[in-house]
């Protein structure tokens, strides 16, 4: 599932191809992937230029030249790519926008999502839809993170997956960050020491920056706007490495199920807190 580094990579690769171009027409739209239900997306974006593309949490936010905004969420299997209009249209493609062509011929923005956990969400000009989102992990301050974690008794792994606590992390980067910070995933959030929160804050930022440099992790479906996969999956230290040796101490990586999600950690490097 695309998390912050993958979504950031999609945004970075979309920008040079899409910003300042005009959406000349919406060629294909599966209406039930648009929220709110029944919203006339095609009529609202046709003829508009894309002013900017930004990331907030795992959302890809498009701002149009009339100030209206919408975002695309990639869900589990979503792909947002820019392709020549001559490229074969793959199954499960839910949106195709013709973009004004420069010297290079017709190109299209395409959104494909076989499992349809993703979607297109209209924001308009006023709505910011921010209420459900916590701060960005790359810019959250240690004291801010400490305050948010102190408010919950949940296991730290579950708290970090909650987009209202901190927005943009998922299973891969939470497991990797907890390993780097040497924090056991079952530690109660409100019982983390000051030192542990500081280490965690640093570990989250380091892990995400490193993943962004390597263009994210491709496990199955994820590709950037150019259709290229990431390379960070080769650098995972605990995620999906159950029973393999810890890169630090050689101990077998353990896998548990927590809140319905697979969780991998090193029982030696990530000791449980006492008391
Ligand atoms: Zn270890």
Per residue in 122-138, pLDDT (tens digit) is 999 988 778 889 999 99
Active site residue 58: yes
Q: Ligand 1 centroid vs 199 CA: distance in angstroms?
A: 16
Asked if pLDDT for residue 103 goes beyond 60, the answer is: no
Active site residue 126: no
The pLDDT tens digits of the residues spanning 206-263 come to: 999 999 999 999 988 899 999 999 999 999 999 999 999 999 999 999 999 998 899 9
- DSSP symbol at 55: E
pLDDT (0 to 100) of residue 105: 73
C-alpha 219/C-alpha 2 separation (Å) is 9
Active site residue 261: yes
C-alpha 97/C-alpha 27 separation (Å) is 6
Q: How far is CA 234 from the centre of its chain?
A: 18
pLDDT (0 to 100) of residue 101: 62
The pLDDT tens digits of the residues spanning 45-93 come to: 999 999 999 999 999 999 999 999 999 999 999 999 999 999 999 999 9
Run of H or E including 9: helix 4-18
Q: Tokens standing for 88?
A: 């074969």
pLDDT (0 to 100) of residue 186: 97
Active site residue 237: no
Select from 77, 64, 83 the least CA-distant residue to 21. Answer: 64
Interacting residues of 140 by C-beta distance below 8 A, sequence separation 6+? 134, 166, 201
**Catalytic pick among 2, 5, 137, 185:** 2
**Catalytic pick among 210, 252, 261, 268:** 261
Tell me the longest C-alpha to C-alpha distance in the chain: 66
Q: Ligand 1 centroid vs 25 CA: distance in angstroms?
A: 54
**Catalytic pick among 17, 58, 215, 254:** 58
Sheet strands side by side (includes 69-73): 34-35, 119-124, 69-73, 59-64, 50-56
C-alpha 264/C-alpha 275 separation (Å) is 23
Q: Ligand 1 centroid vs 179 CA: distance in angstroms?
A: 8
Asked if pLDDT for residue 275 goes beyond 70, the answer is: no
Q: Ligand 1 centroid vs 127 CA: distance in angstroms?
A: 46
Q: Ligand 1 centroid vs 251 CA: distance in angstroms?
A: 5
Most confident of 24-28, 188-192, 269-273: 188-192
Tell me the CB-side half-sphere exposure of residue 103, using CA atoms within 13 A.
Answer: 0
Residue 255 bridge partners (DSSP): 264
């Amino acid at each position: 599932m695309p998390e912050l580094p993958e979504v950031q990579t999609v945004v970075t690769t979309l920008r040079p191809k899409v910003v300042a171009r005009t959406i000349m027409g919406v060629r294909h739209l599966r209406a039930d992937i648009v929220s709110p239900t029944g919203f006339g997306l095609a009529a609202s974006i046709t003829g508009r230029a894309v002013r900017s593309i930004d990331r907030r949490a795992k959302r890809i936010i498009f701002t149009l030249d009339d100030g209206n905004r919408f975002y695309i969420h990639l869900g589990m299997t979503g792909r947002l790519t820019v392709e020549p209009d001559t490229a074969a249209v793959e199954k499960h493609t839910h949106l195709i926008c013709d973009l004004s062509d420069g010297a290079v011929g017709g190109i299209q923005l395409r959104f494909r999502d076989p499992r349809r956990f993703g979607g297109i969400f209209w924001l308009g000009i006023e709505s910011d839809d921010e209420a459900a989102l916590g701060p960005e992990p790359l810019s959250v301050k240690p004291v801010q993170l400490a305050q948010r974690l102190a408010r919950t008794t949940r296991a730290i792994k579950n708290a970090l997956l909650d987009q209202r606590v901190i927005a943009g992390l998922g299973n891969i980067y939470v497991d990797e960050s907890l390993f780097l910070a040497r924090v056991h995933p079952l530690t109660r959030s409100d019982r983390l020491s000051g030192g542990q929160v500081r280490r965690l804050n640093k570990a989250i930022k380091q892990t995400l920056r490193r993943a962004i440099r390597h263009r994210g992790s491709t496990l199955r479906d994820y590709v950037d706007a150019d259709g290229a996969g990431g390379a960070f999956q080769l650098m995972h230290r605990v995620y999906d490495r159950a029973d393999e040796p810890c890169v630090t101490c050689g101990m077998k990586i353990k896998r548990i199920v927590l809140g319905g999600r697979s969780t991998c950690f090193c029982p030696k490097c990530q000791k449980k807190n006492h008391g």
